Amino acid sequence: MFTKVAARSFSSSASSAYKVAVLGANGGIGQPLSLLLKLNHKVTDLALYDLKGAPGVAADVSHIPTNSTVSGYDPEGLEQALTGSDIIVIPAGVPRKPGMTRDDLFNTNASIVRDLAKAAADYAPDAAVCVISNPVNSTVPIVAEVLKSKGTYNPKKLFGVTTLDVLRASRFVSEVAGSNPVHEKVTVVGGHSGITIVPLLSQTEHKSLDQETRDALIHRIQFGGDEVVQAKNGAGSATLSMAQAGARFTGAVLDGLAGERDIVEPSFVDSPLFKSEGVEFFSSKVTLGQDGVSTVHPLGGLSDHEESLVKEAKDTLIKNIQKGVDFVKQNP
């Protein structure tokens, strides 16, 4: 706490100093994500927590000369790690091995995320929570149910991080189009697994791809995670690209909290878009503001093909979301 107060007192305005906690900071994602967050000048207090090893990661990144204090915490320090956090990023949990789906991680990761959500509710009830741990389609509802049970749920401040799908879409589209990926902006909606990932190519300049090329591109975006899992051959899933995605999304949430305007990223949030059809959470573009989500944007115009992809995604999402809700009901 002292470090945060000290940092704020030296900043020109209170809205340029933020505490970010990374839960699972010693992992394949956690380490590079911590590095990238150390490079974000809005972060003045970086709290790194893991079951083991976080103090070492903290000592390492703390030598980078940016204006933030870095602290590492083992389990007995969870309260201290979380207290005063503006954003909590959660990459804690096990990754896939070849042959597994993200849903196969549910049994292990559901309880990890549930317990961290309980701690978040107890020690940082106002923090924005960014969930990376898979299966995101279920872990986000798990966090929501826990926070509801604790009376601290703020739907504007809970995010499933789907940014890696957006990064992949930019990259893979550029490979097909021969364009610069930096300039390829693709909106990806739905959820974060297989067919629930729906890139809206009709909203890009590449709406006239032949059907075979289009379908192959969509499939690659939907199953890009498998490429990495297979290439790592048992050593885990995407970590470095995910760290970049997580840092970009956390940076966008920070920009919104700081009052910057027109900060828009897709994210899997408590969404009004398809609630009437029973889909409580859905990823679409959201505008990020000082209180978290300020606007959940509609999907915009879709091709007939995209309409059918979104429909399929919704059917699967309803089941994935219910699985998370049921887990918390049965295992409070």
- Residue 135 beta carbon to ligand NAD: minimum distance, rounded to whole angstroms: 8
Given the residues 41, 183, 192, 219, select the one marked as catalytic: 192
CA distance 91 to 101: 17
- Residue 116 beta carbon to ligand NAD: minimum distance, rounded to whole angstroms: 6
Q: Which does 228 bind (CB under 5 to 8 A by kind): ligand NAD, ligand LMR, none?
A: ligand LMR
50 lines the binding site for ligand NAD (CB under 6 A): yes
Q: Which does 229 bind (CB under 5 to 8 A by kind): ligand NAD, ligand LMR, none?
A: ligand LMR
Binding site residue list for substrate: 96, 102, 134, 168
Exactly one of 57, 82, 119, 136 binds ligand NAD (CB under 6 A); that residue is 136
Cβ-in-10-Å burial (0-12, 13-18, 19+) of 1 comes to exposed
- Residue 256 beta carbon to ligand LMR: minimum distance, rounded to whole angstroms: 24
Residue 60's contacts (CB-CB under 8 Å, 6 or more residues apart) are none
Q: Nearest residue by C-beta to ligand NAD?
A: 27
**Of the two residues 26 and 85, which places its CB atom closer to ligand NAD in the complex?**
26
CA distance 133 to 92: 6
58 lines the binding site for ligand NAD (CB under 6 A): no
- 183 noted as active-site residue: no
- Tell me which residue has tokens 């809206």: 200
Interface ranges with ligand LMR (CB under 6 A): 95-96, 102, 134, 164, 225, 228-229, 237-238
CA distance 170 to 290: 28
**Of the two residues 164 and 293, which places its CB atom closer to ligand NAD in the complex?**
164
Q: Which helix (H) or strand (E) segment is 321 a member of?
A: helix 304-330
Number of C-beta neighbours around residue 65 at 10 A: 6
Dihedral (CA of 18, 30, 252, 67) sign: positive
Of the candidates 267, 288, 301, the one whose C-alpha atom is nearest the C-alpha of residue 189 is: 267
320 lines the binding site for ligand NAD (CB under 6 A): no
- Residue 318 beta carbon to ligand LMR: minimum distance, rounded to whole angstroms: 20
- Tell me which residue has tokens 């505008």: 287
- Residue 164 beta carbon to ligand LMR: minimum distance, rounded to whole angstroms: 5
CA distance 207 to 204: 6
Would strands 128-131 and 87-90 be described as parallel, antiparallel, or unpaired? parallel
DSSP state of 272: S
Exactly one of 117, 229, 238, 253 binds ligand NAD (CB under 6 A); that residue is 238
Q: Which does 254 bind (CB under 5 to 8 A by kind): ligand LMR, ligand NAD, none?
A: none
Residue 5's contacts (CB-CB under 8 Å, 6 or more residues apart) are none
- Tell me which residue has tokens 């398809």: 274
| Residues between 156 and 215 with contacts to ligand NAD, criterion CB under 6 A | 161, 164, 192
- Residue 225 beta carbon to ligand LMR: minimum distance, rounded to whole angstroms: 2
51 lines the binding site for ligand NAD (CB under 6 A): yes
Residue 41 and residue 66 in contact, taking contact as beta carbons nearer than 8 Å? yes
Residue 295, amino acid: T
**Of the two residues 140 and 209, which places its CB atom closer to ligand NAD in the complex?**
140
Judged by the rule CB under 6 A, the positions of this chain that interact with ligand NAD are 23-24, 26-30, 50-51, 91-96, 105, 109, 112, 116, 132-134, 136, 161, 164, 192, 236-239, 242
- Could you give the residue numbers annotated as active site? 192
